[in-house]
Amino acid sequence: MRLTSPFLPYFKRTQSQLGVSDSIFYHVSADMEDTWANGIYHNSRYGIFHLHTENGKLKIELTSKGLKTLKFRKMTVKSEKEAVMKVREWVKKTQLEVR
């Protein structure tokens, strides 16, 4: 499923079932799709985030990232909405701090 966000140049949400629990992945980029070298997502300042339940708590972590992007510490969130807010913050910081 491809969702858009007014605050993110590129945002894609996918869902999968690994074992008994559902996992949500966010594929985001700090760059507009038409600026990617050779039109390839992995040539952008991208991040792939994983939202999942661990020991009864909802966790978000950065599982893959592109060059010229910032680090992201694994954290506990209360909802998917809060997780998306954290992802937006990461993209915004990457856009402002990394050129």
Q: How does residue 2 score in pLDDT terms, banded at 50, 70 and 90?
A: very low
Number of C-alpha atoms within 13 angstroms, CB side, residue 47?
26
pLDDT of 1 over the 50 cut: no
Per-residue pLDDT tens over the stretch 38-67: 999 999 999 999 999 999 999 999 999 999
- Hey, what are 77's tokens? 């969130």
Return d(Cα 13, Cα 87) in angstroms, integer: 12
The single residue listed with the structure tokens 């992007």 is: 69
CB count in 10 Å sphere of residue 80: 14
Find, among 43, 19, 21, the residue nearest to 30 by Cα. 43
Q: What is the pLDDT, as a whole number, of residue 97?
A: 85
